[in-house]
Amino acid sequence: MSKVSALIASLAGAAFVAGHGFVHHVIINGVYYENYNPATHWYSPNPPTVIGWRATNQDLGFVEPNNFGTSDVICHRGGTPGGGHATIAAGDKISIVWDPEWPTSHMGPVIDYLAACNGPCESVNKESLRWFKISGAGYDQQAGRWAADALRANGNSWLVQIPSDLKAGNYVLRHEIIALHGAGSPNGAQSYPQCINLRVTGSGSNVPSGVAGTSLYTASDPGILFNPYVPSPNYPVPGPALIPGAASSIPQSKSTATATASATLPGGGNPAPTTTSTVVVTSVSTTSRPPTSTSTTLRTSTVVPSSTTTAPPTGGPVQSRYGQCGGSGWSGPTACAAGSSCSVLNAWYAQCI
């Protein structure tokens, strides 16, 4: 392959990888909580304790319909519970912020479920969770756009309201975008489920019944096997019906963070401060950053390694954002695409973030 065609091939690959994403953080009543970052925490020897579930979606990819009957669909591939949780009052709203920007090509619904943990969510068996749908937005005929487009237009974020009559307790929030750009073909839809541990407070008594994650969808559901390339699609949002009283979505707006908090541990405390000298990169977003006026619970900081390369490449191979750019034995590109830089996560892995 010539150098030119090799470059074209690598750029094409970069474009594909950039078409995916994850929930970078959430904001609850002005408080910013870092989420699990599959692109950095997985490789870190000392990742922070976060509210989000750990998973093996290092490619920022998806779960395919042929796996909708497997546990991978519950809280993404290989999902295991987040080590902490955030607290939210029933009736309050949570802003869920994706990164990088959700691609315009990936049209589809945005769906949110809750499941009671009946104990600490940090040690829950995901197979035991029973999910009920608190919102599910598909194609908005009036606005003429998909929920995923509304999400992108809303600063790449989605606002969800916890039912005001929900019984207090520990719940997992399963937030999901389903990308439909390939859904006209069998096994062509893409599910991006993201799970977050919440402790809900309040005086309600409602615990809606739900279904197992592996029973949410099948590959042949009308909302999974669906051709989106028609005018004003009449799209059936897949999965169980909304719980009584729930709206397909609430009016969307962006949330502003005025403080940052770390995850609360199952027993109620905060994680011990990180005192190691290990480099832990906790923020990769270029569109939004933790506020600098922080509460005392902020425990991690963004440490940019001294070996970071920020100069834009002037030639030679370029790695795309979230791709590998260094580490022991690495012979691939060491320059990073514009907007990202090469950060050393450990001796074996450096990454464009």
Name the site residues for Cu ion (rule: CB under 5 A).
19-20
Nearer to Cu ion by C-beta: 59 or 221?
59
Q: How far is the CB of 57 from Cu ion (least distance, A)?
A: 12
Nearer to Cu ion by C-beta: 17 or 212?
17
Q: How far is the CB of 107 from Cu ion (least distance, A)?
A: 11
Q: How far is the CB of 208 from Cu ion (least distance, A)?
A: 32
Going across the sheet that includes 157-161, the strands are: 157-161, 93-99, 22-28, 31-34, 259-261
Q: Which residue is nearest to Cu ion (CB)?
A: 19
Q: How far is the CB of 7 from Cu ion (least distance, A)?
A: 22
Q: How far is the CB of 20 from Cu ion (least distance, A)?
A: 5
Q: How far is the CB of 337 from Cu ion (least distance, A)?
A: 17
Nearer to Cu ion by C-beta: 20 or 133?
20
Q: How far is the CB of 105 from Cu ion (least distance, A)?
A: 8
Nearer to Cu ion by C-beta: 20 or 126?
20
User: What tokens does 298 get?
Assistant: 């902020």
Nearer to Cu ion by C-beta: 132 or 192?
192
Nearer to Cu ion by C-beta: 20 or 76?
20
Nearer to Cu ion by C-beta: 20 or 174?
20
